[in-house]
Chains A and B, each alone.
Chain A
Amino acid sequence: MTDTTEGTELAAATLPLRAPAVSPATDALNAQEGLTEKPESLGRQAWNRFRRHKLAIIGVGLLFSLAFAFLVGPVFSPYEVGETNVLDNNQGPSLAHPFGTDPLGRDYFVRAMVGGRFSLLIALVTAICATAIGLVFGSLAGYFGGVFDIAVGFVINALLTIPGLLILIIYGREVGNNLFLLAIVIAVISWVRAARLVRAQVLQLKESEFVLAARAAGAGPVRIITRHLLPNLYGTLLVEITLLVGAAIILESTLSFLGLGAQAPLTTLGNLVADNAGAIDTRPSRVLIPGAIITLIILSINFIGDALRDAVDPKAADES
Chain B
Amino acid sequence: MFAYAVRRLLTAIPTLLFITFVVFIAASQVTDPRDRLRGNANIDQSAYDRITELYDLDRAPVERYALWVADVAQGDLGVALSHGEVPVSEVFWDRLGNTMLLTGPAFILLTIIGAVAGVYSALRQYSFGDYFTTTIAYFGLAMPTFFFGLLLQVVFAIWLPNLTGFKPFWSSGMHLDSFGQYLSSVTLPVATLILILLAADSRFIRASVLDLKSADYVRTARAKGLSERNVVRRHIFRNALIPAVTIWSINAGLLFGGALITETVFSWPGLGRLIIDAMFAADLDVVMAVTVSIAVIVVLMNLLADLLYGLLDPRVRYD
Give me the interface of A with B, judged by CB distance under 8 Å: 1-2, 9, 154-155, 157-167, 169-171, 173-174, 246, 250, 253-254, 257-260, 273, 277, 280-281, 284, 287-288, 291, 294-296, 298-299, 302-303, 319-320
Contacts and interface: CB of A to CB of B under 8 A. Distances in A.
B276 A161 contact: no
Contacts of A155: 18
Contacts of B276: 169, 258, 260
Given A170-B287, A291-B144, 11 more contacts: A1-B203, A157-B15, A158-B19, A158-B22, A162-B295, A163-B253, A170-B279, A280-B150, A287-B147, A296-B142, A303-B138
Contacts of B131: 2
A171 B207 contact: no
Interface stretch (B23-31, B56-64, B181-189, B221-229): B23-31
Given A161-B15, A166-B294, A258-B261, A302 B142 contact: yes
Contacts of A246: 142
A287 B155 CA distance: 13
20 contacts: A1-B134, A161-B299, A162-B291, A162-B298, A164-B257, A165-B257, A166-B23, A166-B290, A167-B23, A167-B26, A170-B30, A171-B30, A250-B144, A257-B261, A258-B276, A260-B276, A273-B147, A281-B157, A299-B138, A319-B210
B244 interface: no
Interface string B235-255: 000000000000000000110
Contact of B15 (A154, A173, A284, A287): A154
B158 A254 contact: no
Contacts of A160: 298
A287 B149 CA distance: 11
B86 interface: no
B145 interface: yes
B64 to A, nearest CB: 16
Contacts of A173: 30, 279
Interface centre among B142, B264, B294 (most CB of A within 10 A): B142
B260 interface: yes
A320 B121 CA distance: 12
A318 to B, nearest CB: 10
Interface centre among A2, A154, A160, A170 (most CB of B within 10 A): A170
Interface string B195-213: 0000000010001001100
B19 A161 contact: yes
Interface string B289-319: 0110011001100000000000000000000
Name the prevailing secondary structure of the A interface residues. helix
Contacts of B138: 299, 302-303
A241 B27 CA distance: 29
A162 B301 CA distance: 12
Contact of A169 (B15, B147, B211, B275): B275
A227 B170 CA distance: 60
Contacts of B19: 158-159, 161-162
Given A1-B203, A167-B23, A298 B298 contact: no
Nearest to B296: A161
B144 A169 contact: no
Contact of A299 (B142, B150, B153, B157): B142
B139 interface: yes
Name the prevailing secondary structure of the B interface residues. helix
Interface in B106-150: 131, 134, 138-139, 141-147, 150
Contact of B134 (A2, A161, A166): A2
A244 to B, nearest CB: 14
Contact of B261 (A157, A159, A254): A254
A203 B146 CA distance: 39
A184 to B, nearest CB: 14
Given A162-B294, A166-B294, A277 B150 contact: yes
B298 A161 contact: yes
A298 B299 CA distance: 31
A320 B210 contact: yes
B151 A166 contact: no
B256 interface: yes
Closest 3 CB pairs of A and B: A163-B257, A291-B147, A299-B142
A319 B150 contact: no
Contact of B295 (A9, A161, A257): A161
B218 interface: no
B47 interface: no
A163 B260 contact: yes
Given A284-B158, A299-B138, A320-B210, A273 B146 contact: yes
Interface in B250-289: 253-254, 256-257, 260-261, 264-265, 275-276, 279-280, 287
B18 A287 contact: no
B101 interface: no
A309 to B, nearest CB: 13
A254 to B, nearest CB: 6
A141 to B, nearest CB: 17
A211 B287 CA distance: 48
Interface centre among A155, A166, A281 (most CB of B within 10 A): A166
Contact of A320 (B15, B207, B261, B287): B207
Contacts of A257: 144, 146, 261, 264
B257 A166 contact: yes
A161 B16 contact: yes
Nearest to A251: B144
A158 B203 CA distance: 26
B128 to A, nearest CB: 13
A58 to B, nearest CB: 11
Contact of A154 (B18, B207, B261): B18
